[in-house]
């Protein structure tokens, strides 16, 4: 979980910006997108295999 402490005399915009950056580093949004719907294990394997092939450049 991302955690940001508010510094003295810091504007809300700066705190929000730091919080968003921490969430990005922690991978909160990507995890949320992965869990948005159920993916069958077979579909997950197919997706990962396709990503590996694409990364290698072999279609």
Q: Which residue has the higher pLDDT, 3 or 58?
A: 3
Rounded CA separation 25/31 (Å)? 12
Looking at residue 17, what is its pLDDT?
95
Looking at residue 58, what is its pLDDT?
64
59 has pLDDT over 70: no
Residue 7 covered by a domain: no
Q: What is the DSSP string of 8-50?
A: TT--HHHHHHHHHHHHHHHTHHHHHHHTSS---HHHHHHHHHH
- Show the domain range for 51: 12-56
Tokens of 37: 């719907």
Domain count, the chain: 1
Query: Could you give phi then psi for residue 53, rounded to 5 degrees?
Result: -65, -40
Residue 3 covered by a domain: no
Q: Which pLDDT band, with edges at 50, 70 and 90, does 4 fall under?
A: very high
Residue 25 covered by a domain: yes
Tokens of 4: 């940001």
What are the pLDDT digits (tens) for 26-45? Answer: 999 889 988 999 999 999 99
Residue 5 covered by a domain: no
Residue 6 covered by a domain: no
Q: What is the mean pLDDT of the chain?
A: 91
Q: What is residue 57's DSSP assignment? A: T
């Amino acid at each position: 979980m991302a955690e940001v402490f508010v510094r003295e005399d810091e504007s809300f915009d700066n705190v929000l910006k730091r919080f968003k950056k921490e969430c990005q580093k922690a991978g909160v949004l990507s995890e949320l997108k992965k869990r948005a719907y159920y993916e069958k294990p077979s579909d997950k394997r197919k997706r990962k295999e396709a990503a590996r092939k694409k990364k290698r450049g072999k279609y």
